[in-house]
Amino acid sequence: MAGLVRVFAPQCEILFKGAWNLASSVSRHQLRANSTASRHYRFFQKHFAVKNSVTSLGGCRAASSSSNFRGGEESEKRSTSQTESGSSGPTSNGQSADMPPVSTNDGISAAQVFNLVVEKSICAVFGPNDLQQSKVLPIIESLTDKDNIGVATVTDAAQTKRILEVTGRNSLPLFFVKGDCVGNFEDLYALKENGRLTSWLESHKYDLIVIGGGSGGLAAAKEAARLGKKVACLDYVKPSPQGSTWGLGGTCVNVGCIPKKLMHQAALLGESIKDAKRFGWDIPEGQVTHNWNRMRDGIQDYIASLNWGYRVQLREKTVTYLNSYGTFTGPHEISAKNKRGKIEKITADRFLVATGLRPRYPPAEGAKEYCITSDDLFSLPYNPGKTLCIGASYVSLECAGFLHGIGLDVTVMVRSILLRGFDQDIAGRIHKHMIAKGIKFESGVPIKFEQLEVPTNSKPGRVKVTSVNVLENGDKEEFVEEYNTVLIAVGRDAATDDCGFDVADVKTSKSGKVIGRHEQSETNPYVYAIGDVLDGCPELTPVAIQAGRVLMRRLYTGNMEMTEYDKIPTTVFTPLEYGCCGLSEEDALKQYGKENINIYHNVFVPLEYSVPERMDTEHCYCKLICLKTDDDRVLGYHILSPNSGEITQGFAIALKLGGKKADFDRLIGIHPTVAENFTTLTILKTDDAGELKASGC
Query: Using CB under 6 A as the criterion, which residues of the chain lie in contact with ligand NAP when the complex forms?
Result: 362, 390-396, 398, 413, 415-417, 420, 445, 489-492, 538-540, 570-573
Phi, psi for residue 202 in degrees, rounded to 5: -70, 165
Contacts of 549 (CB under 8 A, 6+ apart): 219, 220, 223
Residue number, 89 or 548, with CB nearest to ligand NAP: 548
Task: Decide which of ligand NAP, ligand FAD, none touches 110; Cβ closer than 5 to 8 Å per partner kind.
Answer: none
601/21 Cα distance (integer angstroms): 54
Contacts of 363 (CB under 8 A, 6+ apart): none
Choose, by CB under 6 A, the member of 542, 586, 609, 618 that binds ligand FAD: 542
550/537 Cα distance (integer angstroms): 15
**DSSP 8-state class, residue 539:** -
456-489 exposure pattern, b = at least 16 Cβ within 10 A, e = fewer: eeeebbbbbbbbebeeeeeeeeeeeeebbbbbbb
Task: Decide which of ligand NAP, ligand FAD, none touches 121; Cβ closer than 5 to 8 Å per partner kind.
Answer: none
Taking the complex as a whole, the smallest distance from the CB of residue 240 to ligand FAD amounts, in Å, to: 11
Residue number, 259 or 525, with CB nearest to ligand NAP: 259
| Residue 179 binds ligand FAD, judged by CB under 6 A | no
Residue 422, CA atoms < 13 Å, CB-side half-sphere: 24
Which residues sit opposite 621 in a β-bridge? 603, 640
Choose, by CB under 6 A, the member of 352, 380, 395, 527 that binds ligand FAD: 395
Cβ atoms of 131 and 93 closer than 8 Å:
yes
Task: Decide which of ligand NAP, ligand FAD, none touches 131; Cβ closer than 5 to 8 Å per partner kind.
Answer: none
H-helix segments, 532-666? 541-557, 585-592, 644-656, 661-666
Taking the complex as a whole, the smallest distance from the CB of residue 393 to ligand NAP amounts, in Å, to: 3
Checking phi first, is residue 477 left (phi over 0); if not, alpha (psi -120 to 50) or beta? beta
Choose, by CB under 6 A, the member of 43, 236, 351, 556 that binds ligand FAD: 236
Taking the complex as a whole, the smallest distance from the CB of residue 541 to ligand FAD amounts, in Å, to: 4
| Residue 260 binds ligand FAD, judged by CB under 6 A | yes
The 463-502 contact track toward ligand FAD, x by CB under 6 A, reads ------------------------------------x---
Residue number, 208 or 543, with CB nearest to ligand NAP: 543
Task: Decide which of ligand NAP, ligand FAD, none touches 214; Cβ closer than 5 to 8 Å per partner kind.
Answer: ligand FAD
Task: Decide which of ligand FAD, ligand NAP, none touches 531; Cβ closer than 5 to 8 Å per partner kind.
Answer: ligand FAD
Residues 358-387 that bind ligand FAD (CB under 6 A): 374
367/358 Cα distance (integer angstroms): 15
| Residue 149 binds ligand FAD, judged by CB under 6 A | no
Taking the complex as a whole, the smallest distance from the CB of residue 295 to ligand FAD amounts, in Å, to: 16
Residue number, 289 or 416, with CB nearest to ligand NAP: 416
Residues 150-169 that bind ligand FAD (CB under 6 A): none
Cβ atoms of 486 and 507 closer than 8 Å:
no
Cβ atoms of 366 and 446 closer than 8 Å:
no
Task: Decide which of ligand FAD, ligand NAP, none touches 416; Cβ closer than 5 to 8 Å per partner kind.
Answer: ligand NAP
**DSSP 8-state class, residue 242:** T
| Residue 354 binds ligand FAD, judged by CB under 6 A | yes
Task: Decide which of ligand NAP, ligand FAD, none touches 420; Cβ closer than 5 to 8 Å per partner kind.
Answer: ligand NAP
Phi, psi for residue 87 in degrees, rounded to 5: -60, 165
CB atoms near residue 693 (< 10 Å): 8
239/479 Cα distance (integer angstroms): 32
Using DSSP, state whether 68 is helix, strand or coil. Answer: coil
Residue number, 243 or 474, with CB nearest to ligand FAD: 243
Phi, psi for residue 634 in degrees, rounded to 5: -80, 120
Taking the complex as a whole, the smallest distance from the CB of residue 84 to ligand FAD amounts, in Å, to: 55
Choose, by CB under 6 A, the member of 52, 215, 524, 563 that binds ligand FAD: 215
| Residue 356 binds ligand FAD, judged by CB under 6 A | yes
- Is 671 a catalytic site residue? yes
Cβ atoms of 336 and 234 closer than 8 Å:
yes
Q: Which residues are catalytic?
A: 671
Binding positions for ligand FAD, rule: CB under 6 A: 211-217, 234-237, 250-252, 256-257, 260, 325-326, 354-356, 374, 395, 499, 531-533, 539-542, 544
